[in-house]
Structure 1
Amino acid sequence: MTITLYPARRIITMNPSQPEGDCLAVKDGRVLSLGSLEQARAFGEVTVDDRYADKVLMPGFVEGHSHALEGAIWEYIYLGWFDKQSPAGQRWSGLRDVASLQARLAEGLARLTPGEPLIAWGFDPIYFSGARLDKGLLDTVSDTVPIIVMHASLHVMTVNSAVIEQAAIASKEIDGIVRKAGGECVGELQEMPAMHLVFDRYGIDFFEQASQPEALRQYARAARREGITTITDLLNPLSDDAVASMRSTTLEPSFPVRLVPALNALGWAPEEGSEQLAKAMTQGHDKLFFGIVKLVTDGAIQNYTARLQWPGYLDVEGNGVWNAPPQTFHDMVLHYHQAGFQLHIHTNGDEAVEVMLDALEEALCLWPRSNHRHTLQHVQLIRQDQLYRVKQLDACLNIFANHIYYWGDIHLSRTLGFDRCQRLEPTASANRLDITFGIHCDAPVTPLSPLFTAHCAHRRQTASGAVLGVEEAINRQVALEAITLGAARTLHLDRHIGSLEPGKWADVAVLDDDPLDESIALKDIGIHATLLGGLPTDA
């Protein structure tokens, strides 16, 4: 087969043995050489494609924690604080007061199909002063049509009186149903057990919807636009229908990314989940990888649902919500570890980190297993002693660097205070301890954009411009590795992707500017194109 050669202004390989290259030579979808034109000719006939001659090439970005929900959620009304762009390119303006939120809901209500609930998403109550969004404020839009508002973190929802009545929420004794002192439901439901009362009543399954072909295509297009060539869906039902849909869609020649879905462990009894995951693994191919399990333990700090150790939250009493009893998570870790699968565990608060480290420690003691790469996800508030334990357990981290920008100001002034904000998203400490780590966006919680994520880890600036935890800033090279090879390692895919070196797939991000040039902010570098297996994805 003919060798295709892509000359470029600069090639950053992420391969320490050959950090830079001259020309990217591709054969059979894999990197053949990064040497000169003359060196590439030694392999045989060469076709030169100079369309990227003035661009910078580097490994395609790996988004190690995001959700295919990004391709489906835009069917609903966006109520977020920040401006956002949908996968189709539509710009949605952020909403800065409750009146604007009510007005956008009223607009949606006017277009709603009779008999359907009105669903919105992206609301972030931590930014709103005054009255907290509750059933009363939603009832002013309608107290007869069910209204469901998912919060930005996807860990909380607010509903109106119609939903409370129709789903019989007031009669349920479940953690996460927020009530007044007298027991009256206020309309806020925290974490999955409480929110499933609503999902089950109205037949809502966002994650099953996200596994359907058009949602997957939308998700992939959004990823490609940001230079991503490998994307995760880190909470997938992995039903037979979802697996079949993901297989057929990713097999389409035009599908521009590789997809890594994770089994939602809380959706299955452990034995059944293992069987389902093993069955799904027989359906994988070069653009679809099964084998990881997702546990969602606590919630989100900005929603006050993450589990924190002393001194807890700065401005409220109480301490978050577990999505299941800690012993349940403990048992699941033991089961899936013994079964040979890789665990990706949501741990926002330091108490959740502690509980899951205990579980991993016991699992590895009972069933020693090398190269397991179990990964703690988010770890926003992980402590230094906990980082040391991660290192000792040979576990990995995937750190939610975008959180610094979107919620850093809030954590400084309201939820955590000064000292704990200095260790928020501790990428430099992870790097100093030589822990394998990636950084991520958790889309649709924050937008897909690995270069913005790298910028957050490098500069550590909040939305207001404040810098939090300067000692935890990482340099550009380390930040770029975290969105390529580091993230690939957390997915057990670094033998295929994450760097440009002979034998690996020729998955490439084509950049307008040099990401190692300190004069240009990482977030401002344009994405020109991507290649998947050496082929332009927009061809």
Structure 2
Amino acid sequence: MRQLFHPMSQALALSLSTFFASPTQAQVIADTIYSGGTILTIDDASPRAEALATKDGRILAVGPLADLLAHQGESTRAYDLDGRTMLPGFVDSHGHVVMGGLQALSANLLAPPDGEVTDIASLQEALRRWIADNQDAIDAANLIVGFGYDQSQLAELRHPTKDDLDAVSADVPIIIVHQSGHFGAANSAALAKADITKRTPVPPGGIIRYGDDGEPDGVLEENAFFLALGTLLGGISEEGFKDFARAGAKLWASFGYTTAQEGRATPQVAAIAREVATEGGIDVDVVVYPDVLVDRDFILANRSDTYENGVRIGGAKLTIDGSPQGFTALRDRPYYDPVGSYPPGYAGYASASPEQVVDAIDWAFENDVQILTHANGEGASDMLLAAIDAAEKAHGPADRRPVLIHGQFLREDQVDALQRLDVFPSLFPMHTFYWGDWHRDRTVGPVNAENISPTGWVRQRGMMFGTHHDAPVAFPDSMRVLSATVTRRTRSGDILGPHQRVDVMTALKAMTLWSAYQHFEEDEKGSLEVGKVADFVILSGDPTSVDPEALDSLKVVATIKTDREIYRAKDGPQKARLVPPVGHHVLDVAHAASREN
């Protein structure tokens, strides 16, 4: 690796900077000076910079390297970007970082390009391989877990059943989670452990599917699945759930996220996140949003604008409907051509009643609690917007920043309502890649599929928006999020709704500054400006300079939290170096408490 400063030029620079620096500048010695690559600030006033200096975990100065040398001292570290590109650390607009560890620690049942499952047989084989490699964990939990199957990507175009899973193991309970997180399939042992029989009452907002013999066939939808999953995971120890949190935080950091979200938590999950953070097991910031239908007193007692060991309770989460690709999102019209046994005119269903939605939104507005609401279908968004309109009329305007999560099938009049009601849209353009072809052919049809995740409509109105991965629905792959937002290219190569595409800089703002605004943190994060937190991501190339079709090939090579490296790819930039006094040798040193992966 090349050295940032040549000894002779460095000596001259030190002399000149000492001579010309003001007394104030000379007294403020930087901890680190970053230079040697492209720096994208996401600050419209000065979008690019040659160098950046930090002090005590915050940004001290941004600008020409010659100016920043005034802050150079004997203890200053020089971080050579080595031609790579530095941006603000990504801010997670919506994801589930604690439960994201479930994805990291379970059998990978994803379809290409993220996995190898293409049919029921390859799903079974993936489970068998995972079982062979994880027998100790299986014995401890008496449970086999797989994550990420998607019936739309299986050759059979159906969910696996208990019979398919019994062929893998008839004795040990198996639960596999659909990529959307809204469905699951269980084997006979898991159904027995969860006490699901043909006599089990079907919970409101959920479905238990049955076979021709009248017995449950193993496929569970929405609230029926959530209840069964909770029962089955109940055998996992507290330390096991802590492992989820640690693995999730590490996974997020590997994709450049310095602020993560746990987007639907119970008080118990929030407590686990706090414990792990206190133990030093989470290097990123985590904003937790407990379920508003579970424990409102907990939310009121614990919400905070400040982090404690990197974790804070940001507000509340409400879920109105389910999965668009799974046909459980609540539409305002029938699904186009759904695959399965659906009645004529089937339009999905709500997992929360209209009364629950109105009550939850009214409570949030009355108590000035930020509320994030999962609404995918047009019918669900209608419920949300009506409730927000009524709550604002009842309690008056305030800077509450309610957030619509997903909004896959928004109508254009609903985007107008989002603007009028000051609702922040956190959209899911990764759907254009993963399920764009499915939406075109099965869920909404070729005309309406052009407008899923309508970032173009939002920008036409001058609105900010966030983009997300909803991990563990997909990997928290920041470059896949960026690519999908800019290109809207599907797995088959189709471009879905070219008029909804946005430029690269707009897409980057949705992952940084605007997502920071969503979390009330725009004064602290999201752009490289003096005084903000020193959270950075270093990419293998400049996303504003590469061919948009190559955005998904860019790699995160390092992630830096408060000026401390928390992730480094094997081919990442050189470690920071101490800037030596004249006449001394250059010492290679790692950042304090940094780790190399």
Name 2:384's counterpart in structure 1.
356
Name 2:324's counterpart in structure 1.
301
- The structure 1 residue matched to 2:249, chosen from 188, 205, 220, is 220
- The structure 1 residue matched to 2:228, chosen from 173, 191, 198, is 198
Q: How does 1:305-384 map to 2 (within 5 A)?
A: 305-315=328-338, 316-317=342-343, 318-384=346-412
In the alignment, is residue 187 of structure 1 matched against residue 204 of structure 2?
Answer: no
1:326 to partner: Cα distance: 2.5
Instruction: Write out per-residue CA displacement over residues 400-453 of structure 1, whole angstroms, 9 at most, x where no aligned residue.
Output: 111111111111112221011110111111111122211011111111121220
Asked if structure 1 preserves the Cα contact closer than 8 Å seen for 2:270 and 2:288, the reply is no
- The structure 2 residue matched to 1:146, chosen from 173, 196, 204, is 173
Instruction: Write out per-residue CA displacement over residues 71-96 of structure 1, whole angstroms, 9 at most, x where no aligned residue.
Output: 23333322222353xxxxxxxx4211
Instruction: Write out per-residue CA displacement over residues 29-77 of structure 1, whole angstroms, 9 at most, x where no aligned residue.
Output: 1112212234335568583614225222211111211112222333332
d(CA) in 2 for partners of 1:104, 1:51: 42
1:493 to partner: Cα distance: 1.2
Asked if structure 2 preserves the Cα contact closer than 8 Å seen for 1:274 and 1:336, the reply is no
Code of the residue aligned with 2:123 in structure 1: it is: L
**Structure 1 pair 463–195 and aligned structure 2 pair: CA distance change class (3 A):** same
In the alignment, is residue 259 of structure 1 matched against residue 286 of structure 2?
Answer: yes
Code of the residue aligned with 1:229 in structure 2: it is: T
Name 1:80's counterpart in structure 2.
110
1:7 to partner: Cα distance: 1.7
Q: Which runs of 5+ in 1 are unaligned?
A: 85-92
Asked if structure 2 preserves the Cα contact closer than 8 Å seen for 1:2 and 1:27, the reply is yes
1:106 to partner: Cα distance: 4.5
d(CA) in 2 for partners of 1:21, 1:325: 51
In the alignment, is residue 274 of structure 1 matched against residue 299 of structure 2?
Answer: yes
Name 2:570's counterpart in structure 1.
none
Asked if structure 1 preserves the Cα contact closer than 8 Å seen for 2:426 and 2:468, the reply is yes
d(CA) in 2 for partners of 1:168, 1:248: 33
Bigger Cα displacement from structure 2, 395-404 vs 159-168: 159-168
- Local SS of the residue matching 2:274: helix
Instruction: Write out per-residue CA displacement over residues 308-346 of structure 1, whole angstroms, 9 at most, x where no aligned residue.
Output: 111434335423232222311221111122111111111
Bigger Cα displacement from structure 2, 449-458 vs 280-289: 280-289
Aligned identity (percent) is 28
d(CA) in 1 for partners of 2:482, 2:359: 35
Code of the residue aligned with 1:139 in structure 2: it is: D
Asked if structure 2 preserves the Cα contact closer than 8 Å seen for 1:72 and 1:206, the reply is no
Code of the residue aligned with 1:136 in structure 2: it is: D
Name 1:235's counterpart in structure 2.
264
Name 2:56's counterpart in structure 1.
28
Asked if structure 1 preserves the Cα contact closer than 8 Å seen for 2:299 and 2:316, the reply is no
Code of the residue aligned with 2:222 in structure 1: it is: E
Code of the residue aligned with 2:232 in structure 1: it is: Y
Name 2:92's counterpart in structure 1.
63
Instruction: Write out per-residue CA displacement over residues 429-478 of structure 1, whole angstroms, 9 at most, x where no aligned residue.
Output: 11111222110111111111212201101000001111100000001111
- The structure 1 residue matched to 2:146, chosen from 120, 130, 141, is 120
**Structure 1 pair 138–5 and aligned structure 2 pair: CA distance change class (3 A):** closer
Q: CA RMSD in A?
A: 2.7
Name 2:559's counterpart in structure 1.
530
Asked if structure 1 preserves the Cα contact closer than 8 Å seen for 2:159 and 2:185, the reply is no
In the alignment, is residue 449 of structure 1 matched against residue 480 of structure 2?
Answer: no
Bigger Cα displacement from structure 2, 459-468 vs 215-224: 215-224
Code of the residue aligned with 1:56 in structure 2: it is: T
d(CA) in 1 for partners of 2:547, 2:151: 36
Code of the residue aligned with 1:256 in structure 2: it is: D
**Structure 1 pair 169–200 and aligned structure 2 pair: CA distance change class (3 A):** farther
Asked if structure 1 preserves the Cα contact closer than 8 Å seen for 2:334 and 2:347, the reply is no
**Structure 1 pair 182–420 and aligned structure 2 pair: CA distance change class (3 A):** farther
Asked if structure 2 preserves the Cα contact closer than 8 Å seen for 1:207 and 1:237, the reply is no
- Local SS of the residue matching 1:331: helix
Instruction: Write out per-residue CA displacement over residues 180-214 of structure 1, whole angstroms, 9 at most, x where no aligned residue.
Output: 5885433221102x1244235435388987862x3
Name 1:99's counterpart in structure 2.
121
Name 2:21's counterpart in structure 1.
none
- The structure 2 residue matched to 1:387, chosen from 410, 415, 422, is 415
- Local SS of the residue matching 2:168: coil
d(CA) in 1 for partners of 2:64, 2:309: 29
Code of the residue aligned with 2:219 in structure 1: it is: E
Instruction: Write out per-residue CA displacement over residues 83-135 of structure 1, whole angstroms, 9 at most, x where no aligned residue.
Output: 53xxxxxxxx4211212223344555674429824332211112224464223
Asked if structure 1 preserves the Cα contact closer than 8 Å seen for 2:479 and 2:555, the reply is no
Instruction: Write out per-residue CA displacement over residues 340-360 of structure 1, whole angstroms, 9 at most, x where no aligned residue.
Output: 111111111111111011111
Bigger Cα displacement from structure 2, 486-495 vs 198-207: 198-207
Name 1:490's counterpart in structure 2.
518
Q: Which runs of 5+ in 2 are unaligned?
A: 1-27, 568-593
Asked if structure 2 preserves the Cα contact closer than 8 Å seen for 1:7 and 1:22, the reply is yes
Asked if structure 2 preserves the Cα contact closer than 8 Å seen for 1:208 and 1:237, the reply is no
**Structure 1 pair 251–165 and aligned structure 2 pair: CA distance change class (3 A):** closer
- Local SS of the residue matching 2:80: coil
Q: How does 1:418-429 map to 2 (within 5 A)?
A: 418-429=446-457
Instruction: Write out per-residue CA displacement over residues 270-306 of structure 1, whole angstroms, 9 at most, x where no aligned residue.
Output: 3x3434xx23639833722322211121111111111
1:367 to partner: Cα distance: 0.9
Name 1:501's counterpart in structure 2.
529
Code of the residue aligned with 2:487 in structure 1: it is: R
Asked if structure 2 preserves the Cα contact closer than 8 Å seen for 1:190 and 1:321, the reply is no
Asked if structure 2 preserves the Cα contact closer than 8 Å seen for 1:81 and 1:124, the reply is yes
